[in-house]
Structure 1
Amino acid sequence: MSDIRVARLPAVGKPFYTDKITKPAPGVNDVLVKVTACSIVPNTKNLVSNPNPLEGMSLPEFPCIFGLDVSGTVEAVGEHVLGIKPGDRVYVDPFLTCGTCQACRQALHVWLTSRPVHPRLLPGRCSAWLFRAPPRGQAYAQAVPDRRSVGIPPFPDTNIALIPDNIDLRLAARFGYLGTSFAGLKKGGMGPGKTLLVNGVTGTLGYAAVSIAIGLGCTRILGIGRNPDKLKQLSEFGNGRVKVVSSEEEKDIAGWVKSHTDGLGVDAMYDCLGNGGDGNMTMELIKLVKVGGKAILAAGGAEGSLNQTYTEAMSHSCAILGTMWFTSAEVDEMIALISAGVIDLSYMEHKSFSLDQVNEAMDFVGDRPGGAVNVIIQPGS
């Protein structure tokens, strides 16, 4: 059995170092993937530097191999794997599930109250047992098995999505963030004739939401952000369908939204601010959603509470929904739309680093390059 190189984090605040481990052999239901690219989550720098993780999160045991979204080519499959073969171009969905609890069977992708940062887990009767599984299969490595190889009973191969030849595998490594926004907009009922408001539009999720909303046929996309250069770039999307405003310059956001919606408000609001987002501001934006509309919350690091009176909630009749990830069906649908050119992601800029440059990559992503930049580790480079 040959060795593969990996990047390990020895402890919070310490630099990554490279190491070698034995290449994992796929079990009967596993898929071994040769990693082409692994996208770095924009908040990773905070996670590996902060001794106090975000509320409800805990880091895995050290030393650990980080990495979330993976794209690559299939190297080997287990004997029970159907429809996937060596050489296939794939995206590896990192979201682990028990597969048998009520939430999993309904494909309800929600977080546990207390969870390791990697891998992600759904709630279920076996979640505590899953926590004790060894932290194998993370993606700052030259090869990864399907995530079920961490000691979980066999499941159907729903963690692997096939990638058409006309989609760049570097782009496919971004599907975690793209898929989160895609699922959020689907929850919001976005489609032809709809109006969407995106809070945090210049971030990774925000850029994705604008591109996806255009592809889904929304006639008006309103965005609130801070970075003036990125706001200008976004305003050029969609042949005039996108209107943006600076949250630091515009003092009357509500008036601005109403001026672009004939005073009616928006069909849905997608809140995707980064860490430190203000829940009070979110509540004000929810008030701009039409009666019977939807507010979709994806700002995992937002602070504060959403407060409204009973009468306000009853009369507004606006559904407030959280979105955390996406289903296998949703990622397949998104991939088809990207492949067909319906969702245009040509704005994406790929910034690649080798495995030996992982610490440089962390510093780069820590400077928050913005939603148009896809920061990736390419172990083979």
Structure 2
Amino acid sequence: MPKINAARLHVPGHPLQVETVDKPAPGPKEVLVKVAACGLVPNSYNVVNGHTPFTLPDLPAVFGLDAAGTVEAVGEHVLGIEVGEQVYVDPHMTCDTCHQCRKGRQDLCVHGCLRSYMATRSDGRLLNQNRTGGLSEYLLAPDARVARLPESIDLLTAARFGYIGTSFGALCKGELRPGQTLLINGVTGTLGVAAVAIALGMGATRILGVGRNRKLLARVQQMAPDRVETVSSEDGVDLAAWARGRTGGAGVDVLYDCLGVGGQGNSTNALLRGVKPGGCAVLAAGGVEGQISQSYAEVVARDVRVLASNWFTSGEIDQMIAMIAAGVIDLSFLEHRPFPLAQVNDAFELVGSRPGGFANVVVLPASLEAPVGV
């Protein structure tokens, strides 16, 4: 059987090992993708080091959440996906048979997981059926989890689509509309910077951002100085009052909370008072501690909905790709930091240092040597 290179985790907290594994072959409804790029985000550092409350796949396993590449082969029952096409591989795996899946809520699948990453609400059985991720030269994916990419989208950018798509799905769930206002808590992170770019493309006329790093906050504001304004949470400002003051006292239409792992929900709770009556808060930060609460009187008087958003749908990722390809969503803010597969542990160290949402740390599985000209 042909062999390929892959980076496998044997023990959490220990370096990943680049090893040879069997090259997979597609089943009837599977697609074999030659991986050009696999994106890493700060939480992936926590996951491979075992700093997560969620279920990991049985080890050793090939990690790598976000993968983009070229279709090399398709199963005999695959329709509409051709060899040679560029694709993004969605790692969200669902059983499609449980009650939630059958009523169209795959985001609440009782067996749901992110392949080669973690399972947040299940026992990990589906996770262990899909233990090869994007840190491999080749990757198998169900045909329903493959999104076709136009040639105008480069694969380094596409390797970030899991987290860009997370913010896109959250803003869709919050029903952000042209002409509305948006408040982002955690604006300098991977999800937050993406949300600014997406909201600008969606037609938000005012975007308010809360973060800590003043240097990164200034960069966020420069993405659209006439529409984006930021403040540091360390300035001692009443953030809800600040949000209301920047919207003529009304409050924002949508609050998007995307704090990083280890963040505190207390700031989110306070920011709810910066949302206008009838508005919406969307929470997407799974690693945040604390409680969100509203009094009975507040619920009746203000009717601010609090929703959760865990990922995106297949329809949403296709919509987002179309908007990026058309230039409606501008991702030129991304600064690609590519690493060959042999330097995968260096890539994890860099992303673990939390370089901010502008940096796009990417591993190139087909390259064992330092990438040239990227």
The TM-score normalised by the length of structure 1 is 0.91
**CA deviation after TM superposition for structure 1 residue 219, in Å:** 0.5
Could you say which residue in structure 1 is the equivalent of 2:24? 24
Structure 1 distance, partners of 2:279, 2:34, is 43
Q: For the residues of structure 1 that align with 2:93 and 2:113, how far apart are their CA atoms?
A: 12
Matched, 1:43 2:43: yes
Q: In structure 2, what is the Cα distance between the partners aligned to 1:374 and 1:333?
A: 22
Q: Which residue of 2 aligns with 1:151?
A: none
Task: Provide the residue aligned with 2:370 in structure 1.
Answer: none
Partner deviation per Cα, 1:274-302 (whole Å, 9 max, x = no partner): 01221121111112111111000011111
Cα separation, partners in 2 of 1:119 and 1:112, compared to 1, 3 Å: farther
Paired residue for 2:371? Answer: none
TM-superposed deviation, 1:271: 0.3
Does the 8 Å CA contact 2:101/2:109 hold for their aligned counterparts? no
Unaligned runs of 5+ in 1: 149-156
Checking the alignment, whether the CA contact within 8 Å between 1:112 and 1:122 is kept in structure 2 is no
The yes-or-no answer on 1:319 pairing with 2:305 is yes
2:139 matched to which residue of 1? 144
Residues 2-151 of structure 1: pairs in structure 2 closer than 5 A: 2-50=2-50, 53-55=51-53, 57-105=54-102, 106-110=104-108, 118-119=116-117, 130-131=125-126, 133-146=128-141, 148=142
State how far apart, in whole Å, the 1-side matches of 2:240 and 2:107 are.
Answer: 32
1:252 Cα deviation (Å)? 2.0
1:188 is matched with: 174
CA contact 1:58–1:115 (8 Å) conserved in 2: no
Residue type at the aligned position of 2:52: L
Once the two structures are superposed, residues 254-283 of structure 1 have per-residue CA deviations (whole angstroms, 9 ceiling, x without a partner) of 222122100000001000000122112111
Identity of aligned residues (%): 50
8 Å CA contact retained: 1:33, 1:72: yes
In the aligned structure 2, how far is the partner of 1:132 from the partner of 1:274? 23
Residue 58 of structure 1, CA deviation: 1.7
Q: Which residue is equivalent to 2:196?
A: 210
Give, as a single letter, the amino acid of the residue that structure 1 aligns with 2:21.
I
Distance in 2 (alpha carbons) for counterparts of 1:302 and 1:132: 23
Alpha carbons 2:91, 2:115 under 8 Å: kept = no
Alignment-mate amino acid for residue 323 of structure 1: S
Letter of the 2:301 partner, please give it: S
Match of residue 218 from structure 2: 232
Other-structure match for 1:263? 249
Q: After superposition, what is the alpha-carbon deviation per residue over 1:95-130, rounded to whole angstroms, capped at 9, x for unaligned?
A: 00111223223144137599687355697xxx6584
Distance 1:189 1:115 in 2: 25
In the alignment, which residue of structure 2 is the partner of 1:284? Answer: 270
| Whole-angstrom CA distance in 1 between matches of 2:259 and 2:153 | 28
Unaligned runs of 5+ in 2: 368-374
The TM-score normalised by the length of structure 2 is: 0.93
Alignment counterpart, residue 342 of structure 1, candidates 325, 328, 331: 328
Paired AA for residue 95 in structure 1 = H
8 Å contact from structure 1 (residues 59, 116) kept in 2:
no
Q: Measure how far apart 1:251 and its partner are.
A: 2.1
* Amino acid of the structure 2 residue aligned with 1:118: S
Q: How many residues align?
A: 366
d(CA) in 2 for partners of 1:237 and 1:290? 25
Contact 2:262 2:288 in 1 (8 A): yes
RMSD value over aligned CA atoms? 1.9
The verdict on how the C-alpha distance between 1:367 and 1:185 changes in structure 2, with shifts beyond 3 A counting, is same
